[in-house]
Amino acid sequence: MRDTLKHQGKRNQLLELIASKGIRDKSVLAAIGAVPRHLFMDSGFEDHAYQDKAFPIAAGQTISQPYTVAYQTELLQVKPGDKILEIGTGSGYQTAVLLRLKAKVYTVERQLSLYKKTSLFFKKMGYRPKRYVFGDGYKGLPEDAPFDGILVTAGAPRIPKPLLSQLRVGGRLVIPVGEEEQTMMLITRTSEKEFQRRECGSFRFVPLLEDKN
Ligand code: SAH
């Protein structure tokens, strides 16, 4: 599959739609407009790629809805050169949006089959996260902390403490918290010991799974 004018046309329509739903950040819209979402899905599903919907990918997981990707990215306020940790690489679509914003991206996935598949895809497409780790996102990536931003792309029953401690002062954590339905939380580290919390609407994600060991 390739990226064609037809795909670009559909992406422009998608941009109008997510802008009408409230996404204002021009750099985020430009990134969504530039990343060929259909290439992150199995071939044959490209007709679904530019609908504003989540879609099944491998291993029972989903590629997040474009509006949700845009919304979480907007909350993160990414600046070029920022160090961003993503938990839940999945298809790699959100990773590619962050790379497009010139972030240094560290991303973690816990499903081995998906990790391997997306790893090959990143190589084929020339997407270069700083690190792509097979592991448990509940632990974050202590060896690469602190981060300017941390983005969790699965529904977390609770806020993992390591993620809070791996934020730099001034850094932001964007995380959907809850079981069935999640509340999007924006947590800003305002000092070494203080965090400011803001609730930013309801969403539905696949669960952030905890390893039982
Ligand atoms: N950002 C992805 C969204 C994928 S859905 C995209 O744009 O396609 C959420 C992903 O989180 C799934 O791939 C799932 O396997 C992964 N996940 C779930 N629990 C996890 C954990 N504890 N650590 C890391 N990844 C996890």
Q: Which sequence positions are flagged as catalytic?
A: 64
Tens digit of pLDDT for each residue in 150-192? 999 999 999 999 999 999 999 999 999 999 999 999 999 999 9
- Tokens encoding 21: 């739903």
Which pLDDT belongs to residue 199? 98
What is the C-alpha to C-alpha distance for residues 167 and 48, in angstroms, rounded to an integer? Answer: 36
Top mutation candidate among 61, 64, 107, 182 for ligand 1, by most atoms within 8 Å of CB: 61
What is the C-alpha to C-alpha distance for residues 67 and 208, in angstroms, rounded to an integer? Answer: 20
Q: Please tell me the distance between residue 44's alpha carbon and the centre of ligand 1 in angstroms.
A: 23
Q: Please tell me the distance between residue 137's alpha carbon and the centre of ligand 1 in angstroms.
A: 9
Residue 72 has pLDDT above 80, yes or no: yes
Top mutation candidate among 209, 210, 211, 213 for ligand 1, by most atoms within 8 Å of CB: 209
Q: What is the mean pLDDT of residues 21-27?
A: 97
Instruction: Give the chain's mean pLDDT.
Output: 95
Angle at 182 between CA 205 and CA 40, to 5 degrees: 20
Minimal-distance CA residue to ligand 1 atom 10 = 88
Which pLDDT belongs to residue 212? 60
- Domains annotated for the chain, with CATH where assigned, are 57-203 (3.40.50.150)
| Contact call for residues 155 and 138 (beta carbons, < 8 A) | no
Tens digit of pLDDT for each residue in 85-98? 999 999 999 999 99
Tens digit of pLDDT for each residue in 109-140? 999 999 999 999 999 999 999 999 999 999 99
pLDDT band at 46 (very low <50, low <70, confident <90, very high): confident
* pTM confidence score: 0.97
Minimal-distance CA residue to ligand 1 atom 13 = 90
Q: How many residues does this entry show for the chain?
A: 213
Residue 108 has pLDDT above 80, yes or no: yes
Q: What is the mean pLDDT of residues 14-28?
A: 97
Q: Which of 16, 30, 174, 38 is nearest to 101 (CA)?
A: 30
Q: Please tell me the distance between residue 152's alpha carbon and the centre of ligand 1 in angstroms.
A: 8
Helix (H, G, I), strand (E, B) or coil at 48: helix
For ligand 1, what atom is nearest to the CA of residue 93?
7
pLDDT band at 213 (very low <50, low <70, confident <90, very high): low
Which pLDDT belongs to residue 182? 98
